Structure 1
């Protein structure tokens, strides 16, 4: 699949255009992805980054979750300060760089091993993760930039949602996506794993099973490169 996609892309896209393309893959590492799902997703990301690097595309692979359960230091600080109503986010974010744009190696060895850790997946605050990933992409000197977001559900953090409105994180995610899509500069692609992302992103696809994530991710990347 990757070899065939590479051949089609090289026939359709000029080498210079590939060199001026940057693609970032952002992985939702929430608790629902723990175990076999995350193992398959890590393998798919490894294949995808090799595919992109061999095409000459600048590539990043990023992950996002929270540093702990039940809010962590953010929630403790809020309570020490009196617990005012509607405080906003009350969890400590964890953003992870598995492959940076500066890394030009064809292979990055065991960089994806931390993705397998069973203690890593916790909550997911998608909006701020996308802002972080887009901020990194905008620093890359590229003419074409795409962020592919892999997710299996809506944003969730119990500590935040109990102290704010029930749709607080969902609303923020929609606002972030709308702002980025309206501004241009980065194309957003939402890929849902057993989850329909079309209500969030202008460009989206859904994978019915995580078993299919490898082939589906390569297809998504090919479409992004050829269609940008």
Structure 2
């Protein structure tokens, strides 16, 4: 970290929220996030101040040491070094991965579709089990597990899961399988017409970390690019190789 950051860190941690947000906005303007055609890890290699923290995955009893650019955090407790978290939330613009804060979301939500996404890094059940859980909620009267559903190919490189019987689906469920037929990602979306602005929950695993992303359903065709950006971002945060899931 820079000497300047070390000198002001304690006073900044106790500053009013309005002052903190103004500081972060100025910092973001000074060190803008990567553009849509640039590496989302650009800020990891610039003069941007960094925050180190630990993600503890309690189900696996594994800890990951992470380092993130300061501008990705809004709250004081997230901007402190050496904190241990069981989950961490990020809010970023979809096109260029630039960080956004709560005061921004009210305005961004006026745009349809909202041009930002949120994602949580945490510890979840295995993806095979998660598919069963998601399907049990989406079609509660259907036979549980993948055996009770047919796979319908889609134009976006995912399989839509549909009950073999006449059961009603209350959410649309899409799965990404690899060449060995193993589940690589699960996406559950509110149905068009069900709510005013349907969104999707997108679960996958990268860098040995479970990720859940939420974005407007209109961005479903960009699922692979979204997953790739987050995978790249976490590879830089963990220092692990960026092994991205194929369609």
The TM-score normalised by the length of structure 2 is: 0.28
Higher helix share: 1
* Rg (Cα) greater in structure: 2
Higher strand share: 2
